[in-house]
Structure 1
Amino acid sequence: MDLLEKIKHAGIVGAGGAGFPTHVKMKSQVEILIINGAECEPLLKTDQYLMRERTEELVQAIEMVQREIGAEKAFLALKKKYGKEIEVLNKTLKNRGSRIALFLMDNFFPAGDEQVLVYEVTGRTVPPGGIPLQAQVVVSNVGTMVNIYEAVQDKPVTDKYVTVLGEVKQPKLLKVPIGTPVKKCIEAAGGAAIEGFCAIMGGPMMGQIMDDFDIGNQVIKKTDGAIIVVPKDQYIVKRKRTPMTHIINQSKSACIQCRFCTDLCPRYLIGHPLRPHKIMGAIATKSIEDEVFNQALICCDCGICELYACPMGLSPRLVNGYIKGELRKKGIAYQGEKGAVVPNETREYRKIPVNRLIARLGLEKYTHQKVGELEELQVKQVTIPLQQHIGAAAVPVVSVGDPVEKGQCIGIVEEGKLGANVHASIRGRIAAIGPSIEIIGEQEVME
């Protein structure tokens, strides 16, 4: 079995959040491989742990992938402030005589955005609406590389590293079986330190928000890297939960066309024709078919425009998301502007410092939380979604009542479809099959 087959069999998808099936992404020949260790979102610490504690495996996986895709150069991009990680990586690279180069970045947001990363490392701009492959680059994540190392050892993706922080009594870095209830992760961090809370799944800028009463229905997936517990009246929660009708009415009446949303937009700054202020100005007077709204299709949803830039408290990102949905319903795809893509000459002066962003988000009290040593969480029951990735859901290959071993394939991607296999994350018995597969641990079955 070659490397791509091992990756496919192991069910590896992008671990950084997007969830694109890795065996498909790696089926290419390019000039440059970039591994994202910048941990784009504020507060997250998972990738730092992997770079620091699983350095040898990480480097070996990058070297294997570099050979597979024929890349002349391989870069591991991380932030300059990661002193310990840089020290350990440099030592490992030197000992191995590796050709991998570290690319050190300033602490700005969104440093880990795929297209921003390509521009930072290579000076090349991915075409608007395009993918890094069009710039002769493949971008992958630190966590994905560790999973590839495991796949070569015939170990599929069954566990996930998750940072749990914010309003919890004992912030933790956990290794948990895929399908572990989010509630169990919060309990492992000592439980919530406040009454009535929300949990942000992922980072504060682009993560999904869930209420405390809904947490029992949510589980850890292959793409989840953090749980941030915050009060229900926290600034981010209130902004992201404003009703869409109210957001649009606000946009129609209160946008002053200051263009801060555009001037600070990361995609605009690398040369993409995305001008959120024009979309905000047009929403009051133009129909959805107007060509100005086509720009919304290339928004990366980073949230700078709504959570940092707008002085009026408006939400260009959410407006863009609404417009994207309406355009896709009509089958309208992005039509790029012709001509060369030219980065904005002021870009270097408009990067958003993470420390300032954290202050704007009201998250300063969590910036120095210590997560301590890694703790492996054992659970008695998991609910494993058959679709944890971009593309089609996996098809079950087990039946209710079947015994399963940890690592056993329980769902496969059908031939010719974009998707990823899923595997049992604990030993036990199949209890239910639907959009997810529920497994009850062996000890629970016996009892």
Structure 2
Amino acid sequence: MYKTHTLDNGLKIIGEEIQHLKSITLGILVNAGSRIEDSQISGVSHFIEHMLFKGTKNRTSKEIASEIDNLGGQINAFTSKENTCYYVKLLDEHIDIGIDVLSDMILNSKFDKYDIDKERLVILEELKMYEDSPEDLAYDLLTENIYNNKGIGMNIIGTTKSIDNINRENMFEYFEKYYTPNNAVISISGNFKFEELVEKLNVKFKDWKSKEVNLNIEESEFNSCIITKNKDTEQISLAMTLKAIPRENVNEVYALSIINNIFGGSISSRLFQKVREEKGLVYSIYSSQSLYRKCGELGIFASMSKKNLKEVYELIKSEIVEIKENYLTEKEIQQSKEQLKGSYILDLESTSSRMSAIGKAMLFNDKVRTTEEILESINNVDIKTIKNVIDKVFNIENIGVCIVGKGVDKIKL
């Protein structure tokens, strides 16, 4: 069972006690990601994530890393379109050190100008790294064009220009605006006693000042497009996206998970079996869902030789049309439900996955569904809901396509 507590300053704490483990993962999730950034400083959420590891009033950058590393633990962070998370994973006996380090990073980071300028170079190298990955590049270009490079369409890392525009003043202004206790959640999973940990967290975070936060979450308009990017690669990368549903449509979200599993989300899926196993045209092909507040996408990716591109593209389209016209069989739906439940249960064996899942649920929905409730929701998805979601999502005329590879600007699909 999950336990929750809210400190006087509005900081929400959610924890799941798992007494048979010897580890614990504790994360601080902030309701701020690339989606809400000003385009002039696109990437500032991710830049701040880097800077919180660069030193505090009490610790150097090396001390932040070594205090956790020397205990055999992990300290890391990630930035997404909608939130930023900082976390530690440690043996339960060392959690006090983890709390001390994370609270120091959140409350006492220096944002030193010299460190900012140095880290800017690191982030520009990170941007180049992603641009050297055809799969990442294809998805990023596609998302930018689908959403006209606004909101959800902005790159999490930013652009070369926007990264250069970020300075200490606008970075700290953004930090002060969104890094507030009433806009954050602390999520814990593992071996601990909830009430004891709440007391320790209160000592560290009680002086974190709350303030009014206005998040401008707008619906992002989906624009169909076909774009190409020449890149000297051995294979062609094909990314496609269908407009899907927002994360708040809870019942439909479970239905889409079932559909995606059958369509391209597993090795037994239609796409994998048809395009790879039967035709032998690709090594990698899959679909996945990315659901946000007020919008969502069903993405499809495949990589192949240039000579196979058109056939793979047509096969994917034919599978979209097939599901749209004939829906799914009862047998497929039941098998997909069992597969999803099994995957969900296996994910629960990781305290990091559990911390992230319950933390995001609390951050976005202010409540967490129990394991039993989630499994029941998967079981209760009916054919009517599945058909309604297919009708909404599988529309071949409402699709985005991006092709990355050598000489792709000359390709006509």
Name the TM-score class by shorter chain: under 0.3
User: Structure 1 length as normaliser, TM-score?
Assistant: 0.24
User: Structure 2 length as normaliser, TM-score?
Assistant: 0.26
Name the one with the larger helix percent.
2
Q: Which has the higher contact order (CA 8 A, sep 6+)?
A: 2
